[in-house]
Amino acid sequence: MTVETKSAVVITGNKAAAEAARLARVEVVAAYPITPQSPVVEALAKYIETGDLDAEFITVESEHSAMGVCIGAATAGSRVFTASSANGLAYMCEQLSWVAGSRLPIVMGCANRAMSAPWSVLNDQQDSMSQRDQGWIQLFCRNNQEILDTFLQAFRIAEQVKLPVMVCYDGYILSHTVMPVEIPDQEEVDAYLPPYAAHTALDPAAPRNINPVTLADPRLNGEGVLCHGYMEFRYLMEQAHQEALDVIVKADEEFGARFGRRWGGLTWSYQLDDADTVLIAAGSLAGEATISADMLREEGVRAGVLGLRAYRPFPADSLAEQLKQAKRVIVFDKSLSYGYGGPICMDVRATLQRHKMATDVDGYIAGLGGRDIKARELAAATRESIAWAAKRHAPKPTGWINLQL
């Protein structure tokens, strides 16, 4: 397919998210404002008011209510969208598990922000990481073009596997920073993303309960049909996540064929072909790590970057395959699982152990609460990791970048 080059507009990451929701022809938007995601739904409210988007905008009194509206609208067969950050996302917590368990293909933007207390409005990835076990697919973006493109892919992924998708991007670093972004034609988006075909069946003439109390074991319903117990529902959700590993890749491939841009599917790489030292991160931090890799290569270190695009489902097999030749892996987390270390680092270690790979894996905590992270600091941490391995046999403790006690 021949891809025509289109002119770009210079917009923020939040505006890119709103443009994607408009292009996806969402039918219901429900939201409660919280920094730094508020401009996303403000832009959508304007589109709806001006008639540029044929949708219902429902204002609510909290993030919990916003997701409740999304649940009702998605159950009724609408394509829905919302966005949140930090404590607002935490306030949705009960509803997030309800969405996933109901197998509703809701798409939500998360402009990543630090959790309180103490209060912070700046960026890290603790908010979305804290919800990683709720059953949502989580995709991370490195720039504003990827934000727009990933949201369009997210609706397609969600509606195919019947799981909700959270598209995560760094607050302020991306949400409020302007970059050139190509806005695709509506006709091309419509061809890539057909109208939502709801899998729920609501009929006023045949009323039914939605998600009634489910017992541990399968049981017969009132019509004598054997229905799943609780474990069967959870097993089927897990199978859908495993299916999503392929669906995410194919959605990105087909997007690339139509629009001329691909983002790597589950992961993306930089200078990885001959790398024996691999830096891993998610979001814009992984982009910063590419500069660090170049700096290290100038010093003779064969460094490369493996950027994590899909965090849930975790791309374990793909990641292990790409790390086969690595002697050491350094993982940079912008979040913390208290008492243990960085969550991405833990998943990488588990993946390599499961695949019986003896690769050294060191973890660093970076950028919490918006603490600045420079490429030279990532490079310095990598040198520290290499030096530790050369001199000591004990595992290296989790490092903290730019900590000032």
Q: Are 255 and 192 in contact (CB under 8 A)?
A: yes
On the question of pLDDT at 102 being above 60, the answer is yes
Helix (H) and strand (E) counts for the chain?
Answer: 13, 17
C-beta separation of 169 from 109 below 8 A: yes
Q: How far apart are CA 16 and CA 24, in angstroms?
A: 12
Average pLDDT of the residues in 297-317: 98
The whole-angstrom distance between residue 32's C-alpha and the CA centroid of its chain comes to 20
**pLDDT of res. 6:** 67
Q: Which residue has the tokens 């891993």?
A: 280
What's the pLDDT band for 28 if we cut at 50, 70, 90?
Answer: very high
Question: What is the phi/psi pair of residue 181, to 5°?
Answer: -135, 130
Residue 212 is predicted with a pLDDT of: 82
Cα separation, 368 vs 356, whole angstroms: 32
For residues 21 and 249, what is the distance between their CA atoms, to the nearest angstrom?
21
Residue 372's pLDDT is what? 95
pLDDT mean across residues, the chain: 95
Q: Tell me the pLDDT tens digit for each residue of 194-234.
A: 999 988 878 888 887 888 889 899 999 888 999 999 999 99
Predicted local confidence at residue 122, as pLDDT? 98
Give the pLDDT score at 221.
86
% of the chain at pLDDT higher than 70: 99
Specify whether the CB–CB gap between 63 and 89 falls below 8 A: yes
With contact defined as beta carbons under 8 Å apart, do 1 and 53 qualify? no
pLDDT score recorded for residue 208: 79
User: H or E segment at 387?
Assistant: helix 375-391
* pLDDT for 46 beyond 60: yes
Q: At what angle do helices 13-23 and 144-161 cross, to 10 degrees?
A: 40
Dist. CA 63–CA 88, nearest whole Å: 6
State the pLDDT at residue 164: 98
Is the Cβ–Cβ distance between 249 and 266 less than 8 Å? yes
3-state helix, strand, coil in the chain (%, to 5): 40, 20, 40
Percent residues over pLDDT 90 in the chain: 92
pLDDT at 337 over 80: yes
Question: Could you count the other beta carbons within 10 Å of the beta carbon of residue 355?
Answer: 15
State yes or no: pLDDT of 392 exceeds 80: no
Query: For 330-359, what is the mean pLDDT?
Result: 97
206 or 72, greater pLDDT? 72
Q: How confident is the model over 237-251, as a mean pLDDT?
A: 98
pLDDT at 5 over 50: no
The pLDDT, as a whole number, for residue 399 is: 98
Residues in contact with 250: Cβ distance below 8 Å, sequence separation at least 6, in sequence order: none
3 pLDDT band (50/70/90 cuts)?
very low
Going from the N-terminus, what domains does the chain have, and what CATH number goes with each?
A: 8-185+242-259 (3.40.50.970), 267-400 (3.40.50.920)
pLDDT, mean of residues 244-258: 98
User: CA–CA separation, 258 vs 255, rounded Å?
Assistant: 5
Instruction: Encode pLDDT of 134-179 as tens digits.
Output: 999 999 999 999 999 999 999 999 999 999 999 999 999 999 999 9
pLDDT at position 333 is: 98
Per the DSSP assignment, residues forming a β-bridge with 289 are: none
